[in-house]
Amino acid sequence: MSEGEAAIGILNRPDASVAVPVRRLALVMFGSPGSGKGTQAKLLVQHLGIPQISTGDMLRGHIEQGDQLGLCVRDLMRAGSLVSDELVNDLVAQRLEEPEAARGFILDGYPRTLAQAVVLSKLLDSLGLRELVIHLIVDYDIIISRISGRRQCPRCGTLYNATSRPPKVAGVCDLDGETLVIREDDRESVVRERLLAYERQTRPLIEYFRETGRKLIELDSSTESPDALFGRIQQILSQQGLTA
């Protein structure tokens, strides 16, 4: 164990419910749009003290800034299609070089194609992190009804749902008081397009993870509340010896 890794294990957290990764940890939150991977990733950030790397949030950030990259991806994202592998691979590689990611990270929405998974596999092998892929499985009809009630804070990215995870005050973020918005790609026709892209390009990666010996946990999260699912994930991380 390196000095940095050991330091993580002895971090003193004020909140007893907060765990820490025992070694540098790469968690891959995997699942279809609306499976809850973004919500769980955000809960895990607080639990583990390592950053979430959401390619969707990063891309939306560029669109909001109106920069060149944002202009490049805006129409594809609006239509529910995937953006290019090169672009996303570069974004993730740059982000992983930031000091904040040195102790580990939670990938959300990446990898999404075989080309991305191959790049990530090489990267994980070279970093020598402990790793786990968590696959959240949810019935597609449930997903469509979930996404149509979804609202997001444009400032901090926290996700809410009118029925399963309402904010304390309707339409307002609990954390920073910002007015919640509906994501442009959360319209039903676009959601169906995103599910199709997932079926064709992303779901087959499960086989790739299996073939390449990645540690994979599959959880059916169709009927559980986000908090109950989070409880199960916490338990799994501890059983797998990934948290202290």
Nearer to ligand ADP by C-beta: 29 or 48? 29
| Active-site hit among 183, 187, 192, 232 | 183
Cα distances from 120 to residues 110, 127, 208, in angstroms, run 9, 10, 12
Report the alpha-carbon distance of residue 55 to residue 92 in Å, rounded: 7
Please say if 42 is a catalytic residue.
Answer: no
Cα end-to-end span (Å), the chain: 15
CB of 142 to ligand ADP, least distance (A): 14
Buried b (16+ CB within 10 A) or exposed e, 122-155: eebeeeebbbbbbbbebebeebeebbeebbbbee
Write out the residues near ligand ADP by the rule CB under 6 A.
33-34, 55-56, 59, 76-77, 80-83, 88, 109-110, 112, 116, 185, 194
Closest CB to ligand ADP among 55 and 243? Answer: 55
The least CB distance from residue 202 to ligand ADP, in Å, is 8
Smallest separation (angstroms) from ligand ADP to the CB of 169: 25
Active-site residue (options: 24, 103, 130, 150): 150
Pick the closer one to ligand ADP by CB: 115 or 172. 115
Q: Of 73, 187, 212, whose CA–CA distance to 131 is shortest?
A: 212
Local structure of residue 235 (DSSP, 8 states): H
**Beta strand residue intervals within 112-156, DSSP E:** 130-137, 150-152
To ligand ADP, the closest distance from the beta carbon of 76 in angstroms equals 6
* Catalytic sites, residue numbers: 37, 112, 150, 183, 194
